């Protein structure tokens, strides 16, 4: 049960007294042949789950670091189909849950039903689809659930409490709390009310609340995770992997350990 694998990993991390750490990496940045080793490294470093970005030509939520990584992957011919083939071939070699972050267009082009079936067969645990608002999703969540995949929802700073409550009750796996108004990328500071925002989400969400966007230092990891259940780090991970600076990644993960 792939959803259970994700939720079990999240629950186990919290039960151990640690905070959840989910690194984001761009699949195929530097070549798809590197992906299995990158996943293994992150798992051994103590990540709870991995958010695997699918390269796309028009990534509306991504900042310059992740955009550049996507362009590098696309230039190597990386596709959603090829990524799922690698994940399927290496499914028996990993225990860490994999969540795909993809815009809806690659799923639609693939064929929704076939894509979901192939995700499940490849051992994927969940999907984050940032350009699929709840008003437009139709039967898609039910189809995703039929394949035992978690549709992970995003909450934003600009949404009213009523909408945040609706999003929180619909999410599976965890609730992705976006902590900035803008695209992904490193930030020096957060708004003063960030603690209240995350604490409020904790009150309305039946699932763990994990904060992402702009998290780039161990201090920020500790700050944000003090208000919620953990963090997602993207641009800093992508940049560090690209530059071969893995010590930085290990320091970020270590900041979530009790």
pLDDT tens-digit series, residues 23-52: 999 999 999 999 999 999 999 999 999 999
Answer with the residue of higher pLDDT: 190 or 245: 245
Average pLDDT over residues 136-151: 96
**Confidence label for 18 from pLDDT (cuts 50, 70 and 90):** very high
pLDDT for position 2: 63
Answer with the residue of higher pLDDT: 213 or 209: 209
Active site residue 62: yes
Domains of the chain (ranges plus CATH)? 2-253 (3.20.20.70)
C-alpha distances out from residue 87 to 35, 56, 66, 107, 184, Å: 9, 18, 21, 16, 25
Give the neighbor-by-neighbor strand order of the sheet with 98-101: 150-152, 124-128, 98-101, 50-53, 20-26, 230-233, 209-212, 175-178, 154-155
pLDDT tens-digit series, residues 71-87: 999 999 999 999 999 99
The per-residue pLDDT of the chain, averaged, comes to 93
Q: What is the CA radius of gyration of the chain?
A: 17
Q: Is the pLDDT of residue 258 over 80?
A: yes
Q: Is the pLDDT of residue 1 over 60?
A: no
pLDDT tens-digit series, residues 86-138: 999 999 999 999 999 999 999 999 999 999 999 999 999 999 999 999 999 99
pLDDT tens-digit series, residues 148-191: 999 999 999 989 999 999 999 999 999 999 988 654 555 555 66
**Enclosing H/E stretch for 5:** helix 2-15
Catalytic one of 11, 18, 58, 62: 62
**Among the residues of 123-257, which ranges form H helices?**
140-146, 161-170, 194-204, 218-225, 235-243, 246-254
- Residue 151 exposed, middle or buried by CB count within 10 Å (0-12, 13-18, 19+): buried
Q: State whether residue 127 is helix, strand or coil.
A: strand
Catalytic one of 7, 51, 118, 229: 51
């Amino acid at each position: 049960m792939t959803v259970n694998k994700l939720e079990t990993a999240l629950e186990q991390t919290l039960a151990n007294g640690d905070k959840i750490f989910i690194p984001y990496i761009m699949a195929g940045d530097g070549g798809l042949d590197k992906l299995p080793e990158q996943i293994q490294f992150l798992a051994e470093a103590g990540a709870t789950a991995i958010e695997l970005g699918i390269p796309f030509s028009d990534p509306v939520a991504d900042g310059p670091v992740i955009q550049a990584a996507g362009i590098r992957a696309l230039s190597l011919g990386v596709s959603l189909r090829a990524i799922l083939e690698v994940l399927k071939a290496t499914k028996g070699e990993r225990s860490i849950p994999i969540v795909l972050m993809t815009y809806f267009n690659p799923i639609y082009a693939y064929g929704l039903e076939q894509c979901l079936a192939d995700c499940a067969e490849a051992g994927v645990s969940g999907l984050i689809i940032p350009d699929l608002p709840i008003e437009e999703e139709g039967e898609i969540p039910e189809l995703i659930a039929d394949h035992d995949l978690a549709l992970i929802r995003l909450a934003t700073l600009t949404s009213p409490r009523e909408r945040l409550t609706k999003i929180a009750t619909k999410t599976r796996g965890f609730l992705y709390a976006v902590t900035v108004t803008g695209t992904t990328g490193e930030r020096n500071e957060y708004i003063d009310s960030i603690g209240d925002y995350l604490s409020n989400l904790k009150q309305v969400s039946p699932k763990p609340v994990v904060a992402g966007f702009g998290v780039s230092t161990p201090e920020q990891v500790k700050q944000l995770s003090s208000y919620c259940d953990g963090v997602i780090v993207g641009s800093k991970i992508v940049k560090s992997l690209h530059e071969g600076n893995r010590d930085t990644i290990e320091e970020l993960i270590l900041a979530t350990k009790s």
